[in-house]
Amino acid sequence: MIGVHPAWLPASAFRSVGSRRVRVIGDGPVVATVRGEVDTAVAEHGGALVDDGPADLELVCGPDGGETDPEAFVVGRAGSTTVVRAIDGVGLLYGFHHVVRQGEAAFTGEARARRHAPRQPVRMLDHWDNIDANPVMGQVERGYAGGSIFYADGAVRADLSRARAYARLLGSIGVNRVGLNNVNVHRTEARLLTDLLPDVVRLAEVFRPHGIRVHLSVSFAAPMTLGGLPTADPLDPAVAEWWARTTAEVYAAIPDFGGYVVKADSEGQPGPFAYGRDHADGANVLARALAPFGGTVFWRAFVYNHRQDWRDRSTDRARAAHDHFAPLDGSFDPNVVLQVKAGPMDFQVREPLSPVIAAMPRTRLAVELQVTQEYTGQQKHVCYLNPMWREMLAFRPWGEGEPAVADIAGGRGAAPAGGVVAVSNVGDDPFWTGHPLAQANLFGFGRLAWDDRLTPEAVLDEWIGLTFPGSAVREALHEVMDGSWSTYERYTAPLGVGFMVNPGNHYGPSVDGYEYSPWGTYHFADRDGVGVDRTRATGTGFTGQFPAPWRDVYESVETCPDELLLFFHHVPYGHVLHSGKTVIQHIYDTHFAGCEEVSRMAGTWARLKDDVPVEVFERVTALLEEQLRCAIEWRDQVNTYFWRKSGVPDAHGRRIY
């Protein structure tokens, strides 16, 4: 593992635990992981793993009163001993890392025992990894950190030490499921389900000691492409039989296999529509194959027409998931989780919440986020995403006092529990994530999925404390990262309108790049105004997919929040925002401000030269230079575009081209 960055688990992060006398009680593979961690830590820091006699820390796995959640743990102090209890190894692992994160405070703080349990039952990372590298996309679709850590040379890697280190990182933040391959399932990857299964067994073995179950993305056409059947019709008994038999073979090899992930009838992937069936028919045939073994199918709701005619104003991509799925509420089997992208479009820097999340009270829903920074700077830009994710999870579709999105996903709201899923951002880059500071997004996802009430600043603070021991960098990193999502938003597409990126690779500005494309991603700027009319009164009617109060809040320009104005409305450039600025002046001001902020970020970072490892310093310094270059390009293209369209000059007379 030489040359791979330890991320948030450097040896120094274990000092408080490792310098003490620690007892571990319990058995099983995950308890063995905890014991191994303690062993390494005490060897490094001069403590001891003890069987009897006094201990400073006791980690106990065993039956505990009425506790039933294997992922929960209780931590408290008995005299001078800190005690962590859990009924399962995985809860003990989470408790152990809780103590690690607390550092000295775990041994000096209050004595009262406190129970901790995850707010989401599923905390999953999907990998868009391919076995074979694609000439255009590379090996990892929308991956910005090199090749896959799972696959090389047309197969699962012989050396899985990197994957093992990754599993350890994920276990430490409570991630409990991993999707092993791209949801766009190509020919070779489809075979992970059949003849390549022995390799999947090896990956499952890597993840198991960290409490993580593995999933495969499968092709809906697999009964034909792998099974040689003439159809993949979900209602055909031979198809159901093929799925049942194939799934039974998977479970014979991997008894704790998590289940499937499916992208169907989406961006060219096969699906039930080909047979005149709906997505409940499609999901349920897989669910029934998985059910005898306790498996789950994560069925993605990202279904829309990607061959739209830009002239057609009646089709609105934002509406698609709700149009397709809301009518199917109640028809999915209990082991189907509908995986819904958090926003109705596609992981833009600003979108409203997907209305699907409030529309399916009888369906298990998982919210899908994107840790990999496809539209948010591709891990060349600093963009700490927890503030966005937290806002989304805290959104209350029925207004104040009603359940939040995190409650719905967690089963405390209107629907049975689903969870939170995100697309991973790691690759075989030495820093895991290309941009060393993008590690905070991976860490942040795990922490937020565990507890959505944690503030982004607190999560970042934990990450800084673990990753950069010693406090010299704490304040500066908060300065660079806390507001970086807002900064990114300022210099890119304004007021929720989205896209304006280069087609294909989605990096850097191209205001009209998608304006006349088939993808349904338009801003409709003309000489008078900009934005998408999604109102019921005069537009696509998308606002009507929300329950009250939001259907009305979004419907009116008077009440629509500024940051989403152009997502919901087409307005003149002179329209005055709640902020008091006109839309056009807002565009100019935010684009100048965003660039200034990036330059300040670079200045702040430069001060850390002697406080962070030289390779981190150099990588981040170079990337900040690219971020500034790219931000300036965004500023100048966006500002110039709107100045030329509108003819309205900047009130401050700044340079626009």
User: What's the min distance (Å) between Cβ of 182 and ligand GCW?
Assistant: 6
Site string for ligand GCW, 608-637 (x = CB under 6 A): ------------------------------
Cα separation, 324 vs 319, in Å, equals 9
User: What's the min distance (Å) between Cβ of 286 and ligand GCW?
Assistant: 18
Site string for ligand GCW, 107-136 (x = CB under 6 A): ---------------------x--------
How many CB atoms are closer than 10 A to CB 325?
Answer: 24
Identity of the residue, 184 or 486, whose beta carbon is nearer to ligand GCW in the bound complex: 184
C-alpha distance from residue 388 to each of 258, 441, 542 (Å): 28, 11, 22
User: What's the min distance (Å) between Cβ of 302 and ligand GCW?
Assistant: 5
Kindly tell me the sign of the dihedral angle through the C-alpha atoms of 306, 309, 310, 315: negative
Does residue 346 have an active-site annotation?
yes
142 binds ligand GCW (CB under 6 A): yes
Angle subtended at Cα 312 by Cα 309 and Cα 317, rounded to the nearest 5 degrees: 80
| Residue 266 · residue 279 · CB < 8 Å | no
Burial 450-488 (b: 16+ CB within 10 A, else e): bbbebebeebbbbbbbbbbeeeebeebbbbbbbbbbbbb
What DSSP string describes 42-80? Answer: HHHHT-EE-SSS--SEEEEES--TT---TT-EEEEEETT
User: What's the min distance (Å) between Cβ of 266 and ligand GCW?
Assistant: 6
* DSSP classification of residue 501: B
302 binds ligand GCW (CB under 6 A): yes
Does residue 267 have an active-site annotation?
yes
263 binds ligand GCW (CB under 6 A): yes
Identity of the residue, 141 or 597, whose beta carbon is nearer to ligand GCW in the bound complex: 141
Which candidate in 316, 374, 452, 563 is catalytic? 374
User: What's the min distance (Å) between Cβ of 87 and ligand GCW?
Assistant: 37
Cα separation, 92 vs 575, in Å, equals 56
523 binds ligand GCW (CB under 6 A): no
Site string for ligand GCW, 205-244 (x = CB under 6 A): ----------------------------------------
Structure tokens that stand for 153 in this block: 């040379």
User: How many residues line the site for ligand GCW (CB under 6 A)?
Assistant: 11
Q: Which residues from 344-363 bind ligand GCW, rule CB under 6 A?
A: 346-347
376 binds ligand GCW (CB under 6 A): no
Which candidate in 27, 104, 249, 267 is catalytic? 267
Identity of the residue, 177 or 317, whose beta carbon is nearer to ligand GCW in the bound complex: 317
Which candidate in 56, 346, 489, 597 is catalytic? 346
> For ligand GCW, which residue has the nearest CB?
346
Rounded to the nearest 5°, which phi and psi values hold at 333? -65, 160
3-state SS assignment for residue 209:
helix
| Contact partners, residue 289, CB within 8 Å, separation at least 6 | 240, 243, 244, 246, 247, 248, 295
Residue of 184, 540, 637, 639 that binds ligand GCW (CB under 6 A): 184
Identity of the residue, 499 or 634, whose beta carbon is nearer to ligand GCW in the bound complex: 499
141 binds ligand GCW (CB under 6 A): yes
- Return the beta strands (E) in 429-521 as ranges: none
Residues that bind ligand GCW (CB under 6 A): 128, 141-142, 183-184, 263, 267, 302, 346-347, 374
Mind telling me the catalytic residues? 267, 346, 374
